Structure 1
């Protein structure tokens, strides 16, 4: 009986030892998994440093936050209104013949402007400050360019400008069609006080010297 008990006891101790060994192995395996997981997480955290190298963070005092200013809104409706008024104010159907002085150059002076003004323009006593050349433009392009030129010249305080319309030598029948249209358009511009044919050295029959009303000088 003692021998049977001793044999049973040894068997029990062996089972306990085996179980403890298995528990220790499981615990070691679990610890190994935890270590590997922690190492992987550390590698991922240091991935940038691993490839780029160590970096030094900038101090907060050196930071500058750029605040972009929104673009200035364009007065689109105002521009459209100006274009509409410009188009309506310069008609090709306007009869200018009764407003031109009856002379060999068909000069123009607005009511209240004396003959001495056009005489001074012809003699070159007014210094030409700016010039617009309409060569090569279609009629509608020339009208728009002339309207914008006169308006801008008046706004910037210019008084005397030259408009080159050409002599019409390249037109069908060699008729200066654009010249007549430019005269018609200029008469309809309220900024224009007078105009005369340019002197030969300044374009002659292919250009007009235009006197504008005084305007308050503006910078754009």
Structure 2
């Protein structure tokens, strides 16, 4: 009997790689399947968290509506809303320190007689200012822009109030002010107390350039007109 010849192995055409083994292909499919499952689980968890957050917000909104009750919305008024600019900060501590220094530096027993003009109205002016300043102040050359009434205050209260008043006037650039201290008609023995002390205090104030007793029709002996320095 003749032996059959085995068919010769056919070589793969040039330029074509042999197909991958079946095991490698199955391994790639399993990896893709695991990746797909992981992605689906992540998407499901994210959707569950979103539903949970929405349910929580809805519960909170429902609790708020129950607590507030029925609300009627305001009708639009056509006005444009604007943002409010906060006011500048005030140096409150510095002002408090200034007050403390002022109370310690101003003396009730300060001898100011030698600083006062020797006229019937007892005026005062800082060194370097001419006598015409006092005359113009008495005649009303400067318009009175602020005043303080010290009637009924104790000496300490009047001193503190006067100091704060003068500093505030300088900050607001109010140059001419009226200070009402009274004639002392309601004091014990009808002796004026604040009248003399106010004039002593004013001679010690850096804010004061000059002061003069008011004319009779402006208050006379119960009122002092003061000219303050300009704000720095």
TM range (shorter): 0.5 to 0.7
In structure 2, distance between residues paired with 1:215 and 1:75: 16
The yes-or-no answer on 1:158 pairing with 2:155 is no
* Contact 1:89–1:189, Cα closer than 8 Å, also in 2: no
Match of 1:57 in 2: none
* Contact 1:101–1:107, Cα closer than 8 Å, also in 2: yes
Cα deviations across residues 74-128 of structure 1 (Å, max 9, x unaligned)?
7564344212111023211211111011111111011011110100111111111
User: 1 or 2 for the larger relative contact order (CA 8 Å, sep ≥6)?
Assistant: 1
Describe the shift of the 1:108–1:95 C-alpha distance in structure 2 as closer, same or farther (beyond 3 A).
Answer: same
In structure 2, distance between residues paired with 1:176 and 1:76: 34
The yes-or-no answer on 1:185 pairing with 2:201 is yes
* Contact 2:99–2:164, Cα closer than 8 Å, also in 1: no
* Contact 1:196–1:209, Cα closer than 8 Å, also in 2: yes
The yes-or-no answer on 1:132 pairing with 2:131 is no
The yes-or-no answer on 1:211 pairing with 2:221 is no
In structure 2, distance between residues paired with 1:79 and 1:113: 29
In structure 1, distance between residues paired with 2:105 and 2:130: 25
* Contact 1:162–1:209, Cα closer than 8 Å, also in 2: yes
User: Equivalent residues in 2 for 1:5-16 (5 A)?
Assistant: none
The yes-or-no answer on 1:109 pairing with 2:125 is yes
SS in structure 1 at match of 2:114: coil
In structure 2, distance between residues paired with 1:141 and 1:205: 21
The yes-or-no answer on 1:198 pairing with 2:230 is no
In structure 2, distance between residues paired with 1:213 and 1:83: 18
Match of 2:136 in 1: 120
Match of 1:173 in 2: 189
Match of 1:40 in 2: none
In structure 1, distance between residues paired with 2:159 and 2:171: 18
Match of 1:88 in 2: 104
Count, aligned residues: 154
Could you list the runs of 5+ residues in structure 1 that have no partner in the other structure?
1-45, 53-71
* TM-score, with length taken from structure 2: 0.60
Describe the shift of the 1:74–1:209 C-alpha distance in structure 2 as closer, same or farther (beyond 3 A).
Answer: closer
Match of 1:63 in 2: none
In structure 1, distance between residues paired with 2:231 and 2:93: 24
* TM-score, with length taken from structure 1: 0.63
